[in-house]
Copies of this chain bind each other. A is one copy, B any other.
Amino acid sequence: MKNTVQVGLIGFGTVGSGLAEVLLSQQHRLAKRTGMTIRLAKVADINIDSLPPQFSDVSLTRDAAELIDDPGIDIVVELIGGIEPAKTFVMQAIAAGKHVVTANKALLSQEGRDIFTAAAEKGVEVGFEASVGGGIPVIKSLREGLVANRILAITGIMNGTANYILTRMTDEGIPFAAVLKDAQEQGFAEADPTYDVEGIDTAHKLAILMTMAYGMHITHNEIPTEGISRVEPVDIEFAREFGCRIKLLAISRNHGDSVEAHIHPTMVPESHLLAKIDGAFNAIHFTGDMVGNVLFYGLGAGKMPTGSAVAADVVDIARNIRAGSVGRVPPLSYLPREIGDRRITPLDELCCPYYFRISARDEPGVLAAIAGILSHHGISIESVIQKGRRESVPVSIVMRTHSARESAVKGALAEIDTLEVVTEPTVKIRFLDEEPC
């Protein structure tokens, strides 16, 4: 029985050095839990010349291939991020018969099919707990804890940077750009924040969860995605008047022959737990046909939380190596042959209540004209707030509709925005509430 498992790590950046610290600091505890020594044996990184002194027994190379080809390495951990050369390294590691662990959601959501197919053929494990929800054990929970459920819906706050920005906009009433700049200066947001604030990172994660939850092929670019960069403090204020918080949500529903998936700023009722998730935290909510609603909450990023999740994958695989049970659980929850294609509902067919903020000159008949257009498109109004709090000129006409079809909303807003009295493009934000159209 093999009692030592050797780990090779490609990428010694923030998350990589976090994993190294987790494995070192928890080595004794992991031995007491697994009966094994789990040892970081080798690091490959092109950007560093030496490892910190506590890793004196870990060898360092600039050549990932040397690590991948090392017969002493059992598990290759890829923590460089991005598509290339990450994919090449992962595919080489699989071809060399190594088990792979990665936190790379971009890679998996775009190239997952190649990777999981290669791994299944070669009979090696692919761990990716850290790719969604950072330190939260959401992948294992979905795959194993909820195994006896048909997953009906996934709803989640899956990007800590976007949630941090929205939380500060909500608490302090300051604009997106100002919070982003401050967050960048403090290191809470990347220099290029596009993936985080435009919902792309969230789409990567939702695609991974959907594949596992529904047993379907999907890549992130099939998911309609809208970010938070156009949310304004005034919309957050109006949201409050409707009893809501604005959150960047990933929303997916399983309709059987088709599935729904979309990412956008969303009006979340204050009574919903997701409205209460603040700061850099993530929370992922599943509805299962047996278990009902469950939610998993924690830090979705960061050196040590991500290191914790990567280490959990390493331990899981180490246990399979020792027990001779590699392949015990299919990585994507369903057996590879059971993963198929499903229709993704086009955005135009989706239904939900909408928030509109229409900027118009304060003239008689404006509301009548707008209401007429909405009515013509079959959209019914639930409530209207006619004045902005700031007595601004032009005024804001704010409304909540009953459930309406996206295609009807697009048509109506196109007409409304051509009205001569309307001074700016209308802002629309979807409500979370699910009502049939």
Chain A residues close to B by CB (< 8 Å): 22-23, 25-26, 29-30, 32-35, 129, 135-137, 140-141, 144-150, 215, 273, 276-277, 288-299, 302, 304-305, 307-309, 311-312, 315-316, 319-320, 322-325, 327-330, 333-335, 338
**Given A276-B276, A298-B294: A148 touches B315 (CB 8 Å cut-off):** yes
Task: Decide: B147 and A311 in contact? CB cutoff 8 A.
Answer: yes
Task: Decide: A148 and B328 in contact? CB cutoff 8 A.
Answer: no
Contact of A308 among B35, B290, B325 (CB under 8 A): B290
Task: Decide: A308 and B149 in contact? CB cutoff 8 A.
Answer: yes
User: In whole angstroms, what is the CA distance A26 to B35 when docked?
Assistant: 35
Task: Decide: B150 and A140 in contact? CB cutoff 8 A.
Answer: no
Task: Decide: B144 and A140 in contact? CB cutoff 8 A.
Answer: yes
Contact of A292 among B146, B293, B304 (CB under 8 A): B304
Contact of A324 among B129, B146, B315, B323 (CB under 8 A): B323
Q: Told that A135-B288, A292-B299, A319-B325 touch, could you supply 18 new A-B pairs with CB distance under 8 A? A: A26-B148, A26-B149, A30-B147, A32-B215, A33-B335, A34-B335, A140-B144, A145-B309, A148-B307, A148-B311, A148-B315, A290-B311, A293-B298, A294-B296, A295-B297, A319-B329, A320-B325, A328-B328
CB closest chain-B residue, reference A29? B150
**Given A33-B333, A145-B129, A145-B137: A296 touches B293 (CB 8 Å cut-off):** no
Contacts of A129 in B (CB 8 A): 145
- The number of times this chain is found in the oligomer is 2
**Given A312-B145, A316-B144: A291 touches B298 (CB 8 Å cut-off):** yes
Task: Decide: B291 and A294 in contact? CB cutoff 8 A.
Answer: no
User: In whole angstroms, what is the CA distance A277 to B307 when docked?
Assistant: 29
Task: Decide: B35 and A135 in contact? CB cutoff 8 A.
Answer: no
3 interchain residue pairs of minimum CB distance: A137-B145, A325-B325, A148-B311
The minimal Cβ–Cβ distance linking A295 to chain B, given in whole angstroms, is: 4
Contacts of A333 in B (CB 8 A): 33
Contacts of A290 in B (CB 8 A): 22, 25-26, 135, 304-305, 307-308, 311
User: In whole angstroms, what is the CA distance A291 to B290 when docked?
Assistant: 29
The minimal Cβ–Cβ distance linking A97 to chain B, given in whole angstroms, is: 19
Q: 21 A-B pairs, CB-CB below 8 angstroms?
A: A26-B290, A33-B147, A33-B330, A135-B291, A136-B145, A137-B294, A140-B141, A147-B315, A273-B277, A290-B311, A291-B299, A291-B305, A291-B308, A292-B302, A294-B296, A294-B297, A295-B296, A319-B325, A319-B328, A319-B329, A324-B324
Task: Decide: A135 and B294 in contact? CB cutoff 8 A.
Answer: yes
User: In whole angstroms, what is the CA distance A329 to B32 when docked?
Assistant: 12
User: In whole angstroms, what is the CA distance A269 to B293 when docked?
Assistant: 24
CB closest chain-B residue, reference A149? B308
Q: Chain B CB within 10 Å — which of A26, A296, A335 has the most?
A: A296
CB closest chain-B residue, reference A304? B290
Task: Decide: B320 and A308 in contact? CB cutoff 8 A.
Answer: no
Task: Decide: A137 and B141 in contact? CB cutoff 8 A.
Answer: yes
User: In whole angstroms, what is the CA distance A93 to B316 when docked?
Assistant: 28
CB closest chain-B residue, reference A335? B35
The minimal Cβ–Cβ distance linking A405 to chain B, given in whole angstroms, is: 31
Task: Decide: B335 and A328 in contact? CB cutoff 8 A.
Answer: no
The minimal Cβ–Cβ distance linking A429 to chain B, given in whole angstroms, is: 23
Contact of A295 among B35, B298, B316, B329 (CB under 8 A): B298
User: In whole angstroms, what is the CA distance A298 to B149 when docked?
Assistant: 14
Contact of A312 among B148, B315, B324 (CB under 8 A): B148
Task: Decide: B144 and A312 in contact? CB cutoff 8 A.
Answer: yes
Contacts of A149 in B (CB 8 A): 26, 308
User: In whole angstroms, what is the CA distance A195 to B215 when docked?
Assistant: 41
CB closest chain-B residue, reference A322? B328
CB closest chain-B residue, reference A305? B291
Task: Decide: B273 and A288 in contact? CB cutoff 8 A.
Answer: no
